[in-house]
Amino acid sequence: MSTQSPRYDFEPIINRKPVKFPGGKRLAVMIYVNIEHVPFGSTSLAHAVYPMTMQYSPDILNHGWRDYGNRVGLWRIMKAMDEYGFRGTVNLNSDVCREYPQIIEEGNARDWEWGMQGDNNTSIMTVMTEDEERAFISKNVAIVEKATGKRPKGWLGMCLAESFKTPDFLAEAGIEYVSNYAHDELPVPMKVEKGSLLTMPYTLELNDVPTIMGKGTSAEVFGQMIKDQFDVLYEEALELPRVMSISLHPFITGHPFRMKHFKAALAYIAGHDDIWQTTGGEINDWYRANCM
């Protein structure tokens, strides 16, 4: 009996049909920006810099560290992305719409894409009942649609977690792609009960949480990793278009000593031809129009 995922077929990338990106571009580059809210007094799931303080409430040390991302780090990231022509694919906690409306205003001014990441940094869908999970998805999609003026197409589960039924509930709610599966360099169709759902390339490698916080990678090495990843994909994309994703958290990458190296990586990528600087929603639309 197969133990492969029942949600999608196994299809090696060497079997994919080459289909050009818009304008004949060969490599799509998308930047996920995870904009989150950690409620004051919360001691859970904060990627704690000092886990020992999480047992106390209020956890001022870790709360302030996370709060820096929305108060300072995000704006430094926005400025660098503006300079080199990148737009964000945001994995958004819906509480951000209420707590930090300036972020929504500035993101809309830049035509950033608003994807979903639940309500805040404490909610995990795997502990919900099916009815609770279905209601949780619908409620948060409605909040973000009202606040941003656009219905979200994408979803990322908190900690990339989902239940066995999550893909069905996402498709049912009108979500078109999910980024929980860091398994490919192109979108992949999923099997759902109703509607349709794609996986969108996501990265656990060019991702500042597991790479910088988890493995202790330096800012300089992280920047070089982005350049090296780009070089290999840029060459491979001559034969088959690829998607390169980068995942950022403003409370990590938004610090000045890291931004120096991240900004240099953006400049390096933007200096090449045939690059599609895009978002998950645009890749979703391209794939549905050309590959399904």
At 37-62, the pLDDT tens digits run 988 877 555 455 655 555 667 777 88
180 found inside a domain: yes
| CB burial of residue 15 (10 Å; 0-12, 13-18, 19+) | exposed
154 is a domain residue: yes
**Phi and psi, residue 288, nearest 5°:** -65, -30
Token pair in block for residue 275: 């690059």
Judge whether 73 lies within some domain: yes
Mean pLDDT of the chain: 93
Token pair for 286:
């391209």
* Average pLDDT over every residue of 11-18: 92
Please indicate, yes or no, if residue 9 is contained in any of the structural domains: no
In a domain, 184, yes or no: yes
| Phi, then psi, of 188 in degrees rounded to 5 | -135, 130
What is the model's pLDDT at position 234?
98
**Upstream peptide bond of 58 is cis (omega within 30 degrees of 0):** yes
Number of domains the chain contains: 1
- Each residue of 124-179: pLDDT tens digit? 888 999 999 999 999 999 999 999 999 999 999 988 889 999 999 999 999 999 99
What phi and psi, each to the nearest 5 degrees, are found at residue 99?
-80, -35
Q: Is the pLDDT of residue 243 over 90?
A: yes
Average pLDDT of span 200-208: 97
- For residue 291, the tally of other CB atoms under 10 A from its CB is 13
Q: How far is CA 185 from CA 14, 74, 181, 203, 246, in A?
A: 11, 26, 11, 9, 12
Task: Please name the residue ranges forming H helices in 4-73.
Answer: 60-68
DSSP-based three-state secondary structure for 134: helix
Share of the chain above pLDDT 70, in %: 94
- The average pLDDT across 221-240 equals 97
Q: How far is Cα 174 from Cα 172, in angstroms, rounded to an integer?
A: 6
Q: What is the pLDDT of residue 63?
A: 83
CATH number, domain containing residue 95:
3.20.20.370
Is 13 within the bounds of a domain?
Answer: no
Q: Three-state SS across 88-120?
A: EEEEECCHHHHHCHHHHHHHHHCCCEEEECCCC
- In this prediction, residue 116 carries a pLDDT of 94
Assigned domain for 143 exists: yes
Say if residues 175 and 155 touch (Cβ distance below 8 Å): yes
Please state, in angstroms and rounded to a whole number, the distance separating the CA atoms of residues 156 and 94.
12
pLDDT of residue 45: 54
pLDDT at position 203 over 80: yes
Task: Tell me the pLDDT tens digit for each residue of 47-105.
Answer: 556 555 556 677 778 888 889 999 999 999 999 999 999 999 999 999 999 999 999 99
Residue ranges making up the domain that contains 286: 25-290
Asked if residue 14 belongs to a domain, the reply is: no
Question: Is the Cα torsion angle 252, 257, 261, 266 positive or negative in sign?
Answer: positive
Give Cβ neighbours of residue 103 (< 8 Å, ≥ 6 apart).
Answer: 35, 70, 74, 96
